Amino acid sequence: MELTVELNHPLVRHHLTILRDQSTPPSLFRHQVNRLAWFLASAATADLPVEPRKINTPLVEMMGCQISKRIALVPILRAGLGMVEPLLSLIPEAEVWHLGMYRDEETARPVEYYCKLPTGGGADIGFVLDPMLATGGSVLSAIEILNRWGCPDIRVLSVIASRPGIDRLQAEYPKLRIFVCAIDAELNDRKFIVPGLGDAGDRIFNTLG
């Protein structure tokens, strides 16, 4: 099983090019994040466990199946909110829990300001949603929180990841499953992904100023 999956699909590359373009307006940028999150969701859910379910079609009785595990979507605020809808449309029964983190611009380290996870134990599978995996700090913090919560299967979905960020996650969690549309080679001196696409949260929510 490939633990880090970089999607190789012409439509992914097409939509990712539009997403990266600095002339793409916020409304289209949001649509592109949504479309690419759908591709990520398709890859990340390909092996979800199912159980039998007997139903009646208009013609006959048949045996189908249904998802058999408790699933949580965990967007990292605020940019991660842009990836929730595609997964929720595919898994309507999923729970949505939120982790709020912002990056300290001086240290480039994540600062947690909000955590809304239920008490009494975690989901069976948790999808961490963050469009940009730069240093990996926010995602690592989210993984630590989900581990304490009691989630045994954690999967990370990011539109663009940096190679240093991927390497850091793999070093800390060798069995972690990561799904990305593209892996960019480097970070600049401000810890932004290069070539990247800038600040995903600002572009999603039109707060570039």
Active site residues: 103, 107, 199, 202
- Name every residue whose Cβ is closer than 8 Å to that of residue 146 and which is 6 or more positions away in sequence: 74, 117, 122, 126, 128, 154
Cβ atoms 74, 128 nearer than 8 A: yes
Cβ atoms 157, 103 nearer than 8 A: no
Q: In the structure encoding, which two tokens stand for residue 8, read together? A: 């190789």
- Residue ranges with strand state E in 19-176: 50-56, 61-67, 71-77, 95-96, 98-103, 110-116, 125-129, 132-133, 153-162
